[in-house]
Amino acid sequence: MLLTVGVIYRFFVIVLFAITIAWATLMQTMYNEKIFELVMGTRNYLAAPIAAIFLLAVFCKRVTEQGAFWGLVGGILISICGMVLKFVYKPQSCVEDNMCPVMCKLNYLYLIIILFILTLLIILGISKFTDPVPDQHVSAA
């Protein structure tokens, strides 16, 4: 039996859909938070590095490919660490326990701003130490 790409694609979509349902149920029971806040927080953790790259690519000619790549990798790694810390230290335990990191006590919107700024700094720092893109390859449309 020959499996086509469409069949494999449908299979993985179904598997990811099942994982999403299980994850949402787990988060709802563990945190007693609204699903909307969890979805928005997770999405925004991953959107902040992408937004930083996009804005710098549009408004700064000095950004290089290496800076954008490592900025995206660094931003996503920092956001994954933040999501893991939020998962390990539940919001209820952070109120009672002073041992949790400062990151757990902040609202996710503040963390996204910090993540955005850190990603900007990573991109600009790496772009500063790499060769700039020649002007003939940069279009100002």
Q: Are residues 9 and 38 in the same domain?
A: no
Q: Are residues 68 and 129 in the same domain?
A: yes
Give the mean pLDDT per block of 10 residues along the chain (141 residues).
71 83 74 65 82 90 89 90 75 57 72 92 93 72 54
CA separation for the pair 117, 83 (Å, rounded): 17
Q: Are residues 120 and 86 in the same domain?
A: yes
Q: The tokens of 134 are what?
A: 């020649």
List C-alpha distances in Å: 67 to 106, 118, 128.
28, 13, 8
Q: 24: closest CA among 8, 45, 41, 12?
A: 41
CA separation for the pair 66, 56 (Å, rounded): 13
How many domains in the chain?
2
At how many degrees (to 10) do helices 108-128 and 35-59 cross?
A: 30
DSSP 99: T
Q: Are residues 70 and 25 in the same domain?
A: no
Q: Are residues 93 and 132 in the same domain?
A: yes
Q: Are residues 104 and 41 in the same domain?
A: yes
pLDDT in tens, 92-113: 555 555 566 666 677 778 888 9
Q: Are residues 19 and 52 in the same domain?
A: no
DSSP per-residue string spanning 3-54? PPHHHHHHHHHHHHHHHHHHHHHHHHHHH---HHHHHHHHHHHHHHHHHHHH
The pLDDT of residue 71: 93
Q: The tokens of 39 are what?
A: 């979805």
Q: Are residues 76 and 51 in the same domain?
A: yes
The pLDDT of residue 23: 74
Give the structural domain span for 127: 33-137
Are the C-beta atoms of residues 72 and 53 closer than 8 Å to each other? yes
